[in-house]
Amino acid sequence: MFHYLELLSCGQAGAPKREILCWQRRAHSHVRGDRMSDLEQTGVLFAESRDNLARAEKIARLGHITFEQATGQCTWSDGACRIMGRPGDDIVPTLDGILELLHADDRAALREHHRQVMAGHEPPHKTLRAVRDGGQLVYIEFWSMPLRDRDGAVVGLFHTLQDTTERRHNEAALARACQQLIEKQYAIDQAVIVGITDVRGTITHVNDMFCRISGYSREELLGNNHRLLVSGTHSKHFFRTMYRRIARGGVWRGEICNRAKNGSLYWVDTTIVPQLGLNGKPVAYSSFRVDITARKMAETKISYMASHDALTGLGNRALLNQKLSEAIERSRLSGKSFAVFLLDLDGFKHINDTLGHAAGDAVLKEIAQRLTSTLPEADFLARLGGDEFAIVQCRQEDQHEAAIALAVRLLEVVAAPFNVDNHDVMMGTSIGIAIGPEDGVVPGDLLQKADLALYEVKANGRNSFCFFDEEMSKDSVARLRLVNEMRAALDRDEFELHYQLVFDVATCRACGVEALARWRHPVAGLMPPDHFIPLAEECALIEPLGAWILERACKDAAVWPEHIKVAINLSAAQFRSGRLLDVILCALVESRLPPERLEFEITESVLLQNAEGNRAVLQQLKNIGVSIVLDDFGTGYSSLSYLTTFPFDKIKIDKSFTQGLTRRADCAAIVASVLTLARGLDIAVTAEGIETHEQFELLKAAGVHQVQGYLFGGPCPLPQLRFSGQHWQGQIIEAA
């Protein structure tokens, strides 16, 4: 046993050559002298083996420790010292020395391991942690085996150590990478439809999402050709282009419509990636798909909404233009004419105003159904908005006669009574007709000429039809031209405001100004409001024009003397949008004009149309301090009733009564009655249109509060407006 342990110690760390010599001397005492040369040779070989073992341990990051039970001493190899990160001189050569280098939580495990090996067992290797100088933690694999003497008794241990720190870190990194890959794969499988085919298109792999969206089981898909999913939506050219790209190793991306097992269609945003072999050619194709069916359905719905009327489901103006372009092209190829009808319902507004918008919508739906059932499939019907419809009549042999026949039929269909909420209502329709290509080869031109024909019908009593004629009333053409010019005039800033002073009779001072719009037309010159305001009301231009007048007048008035009010005329059409109150409030805020210095002049037509809604707007204006004036009083049939239902601040006597004072007794009687009524209701009265001293004297004597007219000065541009001096007051005094 002694020789065996002594021999082992020669290969340990810190075993100097003197130990070899010591071993040689001891061996000499037991061996005959004639064998000394053999022992010396063995020692040399053993030293070489020791060096080779040390080099091998260094390369393999191994080390070993021998433990001699008799002495309790441990011998460390250089490799073991390196693993522990300590020089041999710093290590206590005992079992406790080993334990001190280990992590505190692993020391008990090594003691148990040591005990089992000393008991003759060979437990599996153990992974323990050691702590190097500086606190660095290293992982060490321990392989242990017992050392036995010639009798088989355990006399020591032989521990083989290996530094597995780097491997452990790599394994941990690999485990994290694998986990991330698993999580990504799971995420992909939850969100992406994955399929793999061979180069012939045979399906070799699908994930659950693929099965779920297609409706096929995995067994039904694997081994089948991907053509199983072809929907017939795409052309051969589509697939030919796709196959050509991926066959060359390129990645293809596009949107594909597939057919599920139950026959339904679904859309997928698809990316196909070729898997290339060693020769650079595809050996398989991986496809990654994202379900975009909902998006496609939304796009289809949006496209439909963009080209169809939401209420009736008919085509809208955009689709009408498309159908007209197609009709024009067919006509060019076939030489056949076609007709364009514009229909405007007569009496529809009355239904809306009396029965409500819900009833009006029901009527429009019924009209759409009636017109649709009247037309053959080849013709096209559209709703352009409100109560206006359009028809394109195509491919008739005698288009003019066919258009007459259809127009007569349309008049009959619309004239049939409607039952709405148990009310029988009746309407008519005005129809304008243009014939293409005779009347035009551009959709806009045809619609414009059909609209001119429609206007001609309205001007001549409505509920009829009319064909466009080049000799048609020049007034209609001029009217249309004026509408277009008015639209452009707003952008070109051709409108301006003129102001006419209003005087207080008691003080002979200016107390207000009425804002009057003028259009400085580039050809016709300065146009008064009665030349364009009615047209603006008809063609929906009164709202932007009215907003401009309001903003301009408030800004101008904001710098006038504080006692001067500005009066602005409001049209009934301005109330229809529902935005009038917001426009007024914005103008007041931006101009910083106090509401008390603003007056609105309205006629009874404002209260005739949507009476409750308009009355509510006026009341809100009064609540903030704005004055409301009833203009043209006495010209309407129900003005007196309005004075009792709405608290007006002022009544304005129409100029027709003012100018008839000196010639007609009835005018004088009406003016006197109005003033008596106003005094009883405590409402101020303004007389407009005063042109003579005599008129002024009569009105003053009757008790009029304010006066306005050319006697005191006509409307003038802002730079010519004067509030001080004797000129205006002088005329009043002289008249008095």
Average pLDDT over residues 301-324: 92
Distance from C-alpha of 136 to C-alpha of 86, rounded to nearest angstrom: 12
Distance from C-alpha of 141 to C-alpha of 160, rounded to nearest angstrom: 8
Instruction: Give the strand pairing for 706-707 and 684-687.
Output: parallel
Distance from C-alpha of 627 to C-alpha of 296, rounded to nearest angstrom: 55
Average pLDDT over residues 461-487: 81
User: Looking at the chain, which residues constitute the CATH 3.30.70.270 domain(s)?
Assistant: 308-472
Q: Is 397's pLDDT higher than 50?
A: yes
**Confidence at residue 189, expressed as pLDDT on a 0 to 100 scale:** 75
CB-based contact 344:456 (threshold 8 Å) = no
Q: Is 2's pLDDT higher than 50?
A: no
**Confidence at residue 1, expressed as pLDDT on a 0 to 100 scale:** 36
Where does the pLDDT of residue 69 fall: very low under 50, low under 70, confident under 90, or very high at 90 and above? confident
Distance from C-alpha of 714 to C-alpha of 723, rounded to nearest angstrom: 14
CB-based contact 633:655 (threshold 8 Å) = no
Residues contacting residue 53 through CB under 8 Å, at least 6 positions apart: 11, 77
In the DSSP assignment, the letter for residue 15 is: -
Coil/strand/helix, residue 16:
coil
Query: Which residue is it, tokens 């419809």?
Result: 389
**Confidence at residue 374, expressed as pLDDT on a 0 to 100 scale:** 94
Residue scoring higher pLDDT (121 or 483):
483
Residues contacting residue 267 through CB under 8 Å, at least 6 positions apart: 255, 256, 257, 258, 291, 292, 293, 295, 296
Residue scoring higher pLDDT (381 or 419):
381
Range from 161-170, 469-478, 603-612 carrying the lowest mean pLDDT: 469-478
DSSP string for residues in 257-322: EEE-TTS-EEEEEEEEEEEE-TTSSEEEEEEEEEE-HHHHHHHHHHHHHHHB-TTT--B-HHHHHH
**Confidence at residue 83, expressed as pLDDT on a 0 to 100 scale:** 85
Q: What does residue 380 show for φ and ψ, rounded to 5 degrees?
A: -120, 135
**Confidence at residue 23, expressed as pLDDT on a 0 to 100 scale:** 39
Q: Is 664's pLDDT higher than 70?
A: yes
Q: Is 429's pLDDT higher than 60?
A: yes
Per-residue three-class SS string for 408-449: HHHHHHHHCCEEECCEEECCEEEEEEEEECCCCCCHHHHHHH
**Confidence at residue 364, expressed as pLDDT on a 0 to 100 scale:** 94
Where does the pLDDT of residue 109 fall: very low under 50, low under 70, confident under 90, or very high at 90 and above? confident
- The pLDDT tens digits for 260-309 are 999 999 999 999 999 999 899 999 999 999 999 999 999 888 888 889 99
Q: Is 733's pLDDT higher than 50?
A: no
Is the bond preceding residue 719 a cis peptide, omega within 30 degrees? Answer: no
**Confidence at residue 435, expressed as pLDDT on a 0 to 100 scale:** 93
Q: What is the CATH number of domain 192-297?
A: 3.30.450.20
How far apart, in Å, are the Cα atoms of 391 and each of 314, 332, 443?
Answer: 11, 19, 13
Q: What is the CATH number of domain 308-472?
A: 3.30.70.270
Distance from C-alpha of 270 to C-alpha of 461, rounded to nearest angstrom: 62
**Confidence at residue 661, expressed as pLDDT on a 0 to 100 scale:** 83
Average pLDDT over residues 317-338: 93
Where does the pLDDT of residue 22 fall: very low under 50, low under 70, confident under 90, or very high at 90 and above? very low
Range from 86-100, 214-228, 487-501, 511-525 carrying the lowest mean pLDDT: 86-100
Where does the pLDDT of residue 32 fall: very low under 50, low under 70, confident under 90, or very high at 90 and above? very low
Where does the pLDDT of residue 483 fall: very low under 50, low under 70, confident under 90, or very high at 90 and above? confident
DSSP string for residues in 159-189: EEEEE-HHHHHHHHHHHHHHHHHHHHHHHHH
Distance from C-alpha of 143 to C-alpha of 125, rounded to nearest angstrom: 5
Token digits for 442? Answer: 């551009």
Where does the pLDDT of residue 36 fall: very low under 50, low under 70, confident under 90, or very high at 90 and above? low
Coil/strand/helix, residue 403:
helix
User: Looking at the chain, which residues constitute the CATH 3.30.450.20 domain(s)?
Assistant: 2-164, 192-297
Where does the pLDDT of residue 566 fall: very low under 50, low under 70, confident under 90, or very high at 90 and above? very high
Q: Is 180's pLDDT higher than 50?
A: yes
Closest CA to 296 of 270, 263, 259, 266: 266
How far apart, in Å, are the Cα atoms of 146 and each of 119, 152, 154, 556?
Answer: 9, 10, 6, 112
What is the percent of the chain with per-residue pLDDT over 70, rounded to a whole number?
90
Average pLDDT over residues 330-350: 91
Query: Which residue is it, tokens 């819900």?
Result: 358
User: Looking at the chain, which residues constitute the CATH 3.20.20.450 domain(s)?
Assistant: 491-735
Distance from C-alpha of 449 to C-alpha of 463, rounded to nearest angstrom: 18
Domain 491-735 has CATH 3.90.1150.10: no
In the DSSP assignment, the letter for residue 125 is: P
Average pLDDT over residues 535-562: 92
Sheet with 265-276: list strands edge to edge.
Answer: 203-206, 193-198, 282-291, 265-276, 252-259
Q: What is the CATH number of domain 2-164?
A: 3.30.450.20
User: Is the pTM value of this prediction over 0.85?
Assistant: no
- The pLDDT tens digits for 181-205 are 777 777 777 778 999 999 999 999 9
CB-based contact 500:483 (threshold 8 Å) = no
Average pLDDT over the chain reads: 85
